Amino acid sequence: MVSENPWEETVNPFASPESMVQTYRGKSGEYQIVAMRIHGGKVITLPYFCVRCGTKVAEGDELASRVEKKLSWIHPVTVLLIFIAWPVFILVALLTRKKCRVSYSLCSVCCGKRRRLWFVMGLLALIVIGLFGAVLSFERSWPEISAFLAILGAVAVLGIIAAGLRLTGPLTVAWYSNEVFQLKGATPVFLVRAQPDQQEETYSTAVLAEDGRTA
């Protein structure tokens, strides 16, 4: 008897299951690079490339550095509370700030630049202290010299602030949304070299049918 179902003759109930399935390798370091920014959760582990110059960093390099840093973010609108009251701003910032921990590498060359920057900051601090003492000494006898030294001291203070801001980098939180931190500050060379470490690779695995045949 011929079945009235047109699909019954074309479907084999003893056929093997689908022959191929896809498995995926997880993303390295639990991060993604999107639009020149590093996206990740509360813990972000970056590969062993210098975030400043993109150089490959060996794990045993004693002159290089592996940095673990805590970063925080507050919504920009919160800053408007400064114009209302400082205590309110501090309280809201402490209650609403989001924190993450990021691990990244600095090569030996960039670490050397960082050490020299610390040296410059210390030297400028000594200069500011010396100029402050000189201003107090010449304040009454030579007010013009005192004013000139005060200007030099202000310039030195600005240099300390600039060096301090550079030392706080390179990575900072640019934005936070839906439990995802967006980090900025890494150089384009690093972003290009770190990109392959998070690409998913597809592998094919064979599935055996019940009769032992390779499907």
Per-residue pLDDT tens digits for 29-64: 579 999 899 999 999 999 999 999 999 998 778 888
Q: Tell me, what's the pLDDT at 29?
A: 53
Q: Which residues pair with 102 in a beta bridge?
A: 44, 69
Tally DSSP H helices, then E strands, for the chain: 4, 9
First to last CA, the chain: 31
Angle (nearest 5°) at CA 50 between 183 and 72: 25
How far is residue 213's CA from residue 184's CA, in Å, rounded to a whole number? 53
Q: Tell me, what's the pLDDT at 12?
A: 53
Least confident of 60-64, 70-74, 101-105: 60-64
How far is residue 53's CA from residue 113's CA, in Å, rounded to a whole number? 12
Alpha helices in 26-100 (DSSP H): 86-96
Q: Please state, as a whole number, how many other Cβ atoms lie within 10 Å of the Cβ of residue 124.
A: 20
Q: Is the pLDDT of residue 185 over 50?
A: yes
Angle in degrees, 0-180, between the axes of helices 143-168 and 108-138, rounded to the nearest 10: 160
Report yes or no: 68 and 103 within 8 Å, Cβ to Cβ. Answer: yes
3 state SS of 174? strand
Q: Is the pLDDT of residue 6 over 70?
A: no
How far is residue 18's CA from residue 206's CA, in Å, rounded to a whole number? 9
Could you report the per-residue pLDDT of 112-148, keeping only the tens digit for each? 998 999 999 999 999 999 888 888 887 777 878 888 8
Q: How far is CA 21 from the centre of its chain?
A: 35
Angle (nearest 5°) at CA 200 between 23 and 31: 125
